[in-house]
Amino acid sequence: METLKFLNFLIASIFFACYFYQICYIPIPFIVREKPHKRAGKHRYAVLISARNEERVIAQLIESIKGQTYPKELVTVFVMADNCTDHTAELARRAGAVVYERFNEAHKGKGYALDCLLEQIMSDYGKERFDAYFVFDADNLLDKNYISEMNKVFSDGYQIVTSYRNSKNYGDNWISAGYALWFLRESEYLNHARMLLGASCAVSGTGFMFGRDILEKSGGWKYYLLTEDIEFTVHNVVEGIKIGYCKDAIVYDEQPTKFGASWRQRMRWSRGYLQVFRKYGRKLIGGVLKGDFSCFDMSMAIMPAIVLSVLSIIINITASIIGAIAGDNVMIAVLSVLEMLRNAYLLVFTLGAITTISEWKKIRTSAAKKILYMFTFPLFMFTYIPLSFAALFKRIEWTPIEHTRGISIKELQG
């Protein structure tokens, strides 16, 4: 059992070595000054929304886009009603969007829907009509200055820009808060820090844009893995394209509140990370060996945590079984695991607490819930350990997440 203690210590040490640099990111937003923007140009934008049975939320998103401070004549909203069986298409048209419908159960998922939508736009509007394309999920809401702020960073020369991801339903329960706190941390203490240091940022599912040049290079949206956003990010990072970040462009999205839905979604993410590494691992490692920090950063983001978590489970279960058969004191193994979990809890709690305190005014829930969910955040993150293990063996397909929080941006911010 002493060997087990050593192995757990070794795994924890490797984990710390892999992610210590992210701890070093934390003070960056407080000590590095923002660079002033260049003069912002007026660009024509297309907004891409993939929606599957989103009749409860689609109109509110389009309303928040129509209410932008950016010139309305320069923004066109497109919706792909993807295998819908409800009134999503009808409501989106009524709200002012250009709507296409797609019915294809063989190729399910956001990646296929976006690719089909772009093909339709190219056919109907041509390749030169739009300077760049925004991507949102149907449950999103945009702050009124969102496009204006993103336009500033795009005008600085970034061909891909991601934004600050906040939540519509932070205070629902510990699950929605766990998601929301993670994305707030990712926005402020990963992407913001990367931007200030001149490294590439990472796209996270929704609330991002890409220029026409990016679309032409890729020949459409050819990202069909279970985590198409991570695939898009890594593909461009290994191609040497630097992804920018706009801290003042705020997008709100709805997080799952039921553990079953959350489990399925994060299982898909875990498997998707493995798919991305399998496809791009060699190029990422090649970039790391050449001294490309962004390749190292993206490698750490998609791979070691899953591998180390699964390895820890296998080692501890195996050692406990062997120890029990051999008559050893199994409590040594139990105490070793508990010590590792305690240290992990304190680390994750600290990260969550720092984020909660710094983003306090932006989190839309009561003070009591903000404090409570700092303590449950590590528990939410711990659930990644068994689901990462299960993701290795279970057959996983893309499945839609139900969204029901049909509120307007004025109601949310009011």
Question: Rounded CA gap, 252 and 263, in Å?
Answer: 21
- Helix, strand, coil share of the chain (percent; to 5): 60, 10, 30
Partners of 80 in beta bridges: 50, 100
Q: Which residue's structure tokens are 């893995």?
A: 225
Residue located via tokens 């983001």: 301
What is the homologous superfamily of the domain 43-268 according to CATH?
A: Spore Coat Polysaccharide Biosynthesis Protein SpsA; Chain A (3.90.550.10)
| Domain residue ranges in the chain | 2-26+281-391, 43-268
Q: What is the DSSP letter of 139?
A: T
- The residue whose two tokens read 């689609």 is 58
Identify which of 135, 136, 134 has the alpha carbon closest to the alpha carbon of residue 154: 134
* Residue type for position 64: S
Rg (CA), the chain: 22
* pLDDT computed for residue 396 by the predictor: 86
Query: Helix (H, G, I), strand (E, B), or coil: what is residue 100?
Result: strand
Beta-sheet pairing, 132-137 with 141-142? unpaired
Beta-strand pair 160-167/141-142: unpaired
Integer Cα distance of 276 and 302 in angstroms: 8
For the chain, the farthest-separated pair of C-alpha atoms sits apart, in whole angstroms, at 76
Beta strands in 179-292 (DSSP E): 208-211, 244-253
Can you list the residues of the chain whose pLDDT is less than 70?
1-2, 320, 323-333
- What's the pLDDT score for residue 200? 97
SS3 141: strand
Helix (H) or strand (E) holding 373, with range, is: helix 367-382
| φ, ψ of residue 307 in degrees (nearest 5) | -60, -45
Mind listing the pLDDT tens digit for each residue in 15-45?
888 899 999 999 999 999 999 999 999 999 9
Q: What is the pLDDT of residue 15?
A: 85
DSSP 369: H
Cα 369–142–134 angle (5° rounding)? 130
